[in-house]
Amino acid sequence: MSQSESFMATRPLENIRLQVKPSQGPPPHSSNIYGQNNLKNQGIRIVHAARPEGSGPTNQATGANFYLPYMTNSLAVKIKHTKTSRGLGVFTIQSFPAGHRIVGEGAIFSCVHPEQVEEMEWRRRVVHRWRSLAVLDQTWFKEHFPQIQYMPLGTLELTPHEANKFFCFVLEYAFSNIPRDRINIYPFASHINHACEKCANAQFWVQAEAPDRITVRLTRYVRKGQEIFINYNRPSGNTFGCAVCGARDGGASRLRQFWQGIRRRAHGVSSDPSELELGPISTQPQPVPVTGDIVDSATTEAPADAIHPATVAASRDGKTTRDVKAPTETVTPVGEANSTETHTSSQQRVSAWWASFRKSRR
Ligand SMILES: C[S@@+](CC[C@H](N)C(=O)[O-])C[C@H]1O[C@@H](n2cnc3c(N)ncnc32)[C@H](O)[C@@H]1O
């Protein structure tokens, strides 16, 4: 037996985890996570890279015969590090007016909605979905989302740790489609960070029908280099606050409101929502969330062909409640209730004392 044969005999191929070297840079037809596109300077925008003839489609959502939809927005926005705990974010490459459609793109990863199947079955399908991606797609996905850099390439089994991290990633980055049967991850939209309703400078819609394309529109004028924010609109709130004013879902103290005002002005945002320069989409029906961590901002009034907001987050047992109000920035000043109570009781004490004083004088 030759040396290589003995190696194969003792270590069957399926038990060997491939040692994948870091790539030497993005493939020439794609952009890296910073939105740099080699072809951009030549004025060429590659939307889809064709699959080799005869190979099956990668994208289950669209059934289209292409590898991942590559950067379609690299001339309008770029992904870069926010230099904060938020990690990456989406920034404009030039100034845009309110109402501008800043992102319009197809999903790069699509799988069954967690509400549709049992948890274990959902997990199984998500892993299967990853393993069935072409290696080129997996590589691109990993380069684009640093959170999944640890994922093995090809059809290798995931370790329980890798699988768990991947589930969390999918739930954190995916948007639900409107029938709530699929969730999708998008190249740019899934990198947009959260801000409260007042501070978000964009809104998002997911197309009503397959292929679940997402559209992000600006709700106000955005200067070159500013970060794009959408409101995740999760009824159960986020573990993080608004990226601009720091407001937590569900309210802020008066002091926090004061700082919110200052920070908003520093970001060029009017503190009075009525003064905001709103784009045409502000006339769309307001988002309606669902209970649990899963947010679907679809409204019953939306036209049949409307595209509208829908985000998926962590929980999988949320039920749809279409009349729940979106979390608003209702502010309960700290200590106000107590001070009112104190004020009332001291008034009562004074009048009681006055009554007894008058009685004693009689
Ligand atoms: C859909 S991803 C957004 C892109 C992400 N920042 C990245 O690095 O790729 C959602 C994650 O971004 C982070 N994030 C989004 N908005 C945030 C905010 N306002 N403050 C802090 N972290 C935020 C949270 O970690 C959240 O789980």
Q: Residue 154: its pLDDT value, please?
A: 87
The residues, ordered by sequence, that sit 6+ positions from 32 with a Cβ below 8 Å of its Cβ are: 25, 26, 143, 144
Question: Strand ranges (DSSP E) for 82-212?
Answer: 88-92, 101-105, 109-112, 175-176, 182-185, 193-194, 202-206
Give me ligand 1 centre to Cα 109, in Å. 18
Question: Lowest-pLDDT range, 89-93, 194-198, 351-355?
Answer: 351-355
Parse the chain into domains and list their residue ranges: 3-345
Whether 248 is in the pocket of ligand 1, judged by its Cβ within 6 Å, is: no
- The label of the residue with tokens 């007042």 reads 198
Give me ligand 1 centre to Cα 314, in Å. 13
Q: Residue 177: its pLDDT value, please?
A: 87
**Residue 161 identity:** H
Greater confidence (354 vs 202) lies with 202
- pLDDT digits 0-9 by tens, 4-46: 444 344 444 443 344 344 444 444 444 444 444 433 333 333 3
Please tell me the chain's helix, strand, coil percentages from 3-state DSSP, rounded to the nearest 5: 30, 15, 55
Q: What ipTM is given for this predicted complex?
A: 0.99
Average pLDDT over residues 45-49: 38
Give me ligand 1 centre to Cα 323, in Å. 27
**Could you give the 3-state DSSP secondary structure of residue 139?**
helix
Which residues are registered as beta bridge partners of 215?
Answer: 104, 205
Q: Residue 230: its pLDDT value, please?
A: 94
**Could you give the 3-state DSSP secondary structure of residue 337?**
helix
pLDDT reading at 99 higher than 80 = yes
- The label of the residue with tokens 């669209």 reads 62
Q: How confident is the model at residue 160 (pLDDT cuts 50, 70, 90)?
A: very high
DSSP symbols for 230-292: E----TT--SS--TTT-PBTTB--HHHHHHHHHHHHHTT--SSGGGS---GGGGSPPP---ST
- Residue closest by Cα to atom 26 of ligand 1: 172
Q: How confident is the model at residue 357 (pLDDT cuts 50, 70, 90)?
A: low
**Positive/negative CA dihedral, 153, 158, 163, 167:** positive
Chain centre distance of CA 343: 45
Average pLDDT over residues 200-218: 89
- Nearest atom in ligand 1 to 146's CA: 9
- pLDDT digits 0-9 by tens, 184-202: 999 899 999 999 989 999 9
pLDDT reading at 338 higher than 70 = no
Q: Residue 261: its pLDDT value, please?
A: 58
**Residue 58 identity:** T
What long-range pairs does 247-251 form, CB within 8 A, spacing at least 24?
247/196, 247/199, 247/329, 249/196, 249/327, 250/327, 250/330, 251/329, 251/330, 251/331, 251/332
The residues, ordered by sequence, that sit 6+ positions from 87 with a Cβ below 8 Å of its Cβ are: 81, 146
Nearest to 34 by CA among 81, 82, 76: 81
Give me ligand 1 centre to Cα 239, in Å. 10
Token duo for residue 303:
């036209």
pLDDT reading at 84 higher than 50 = yes
CA distance 104 to 127: 27
Q: Phi, psi (5° rounding) for residue 318?
A: -70, 140
Token duo for residue 141:
């996905």
Average pLDDT value for the chain:
64
Residue among 188, 193, 197, 244 to mutate when testing ligand 1 (max atoms within 8 A of CB): 193
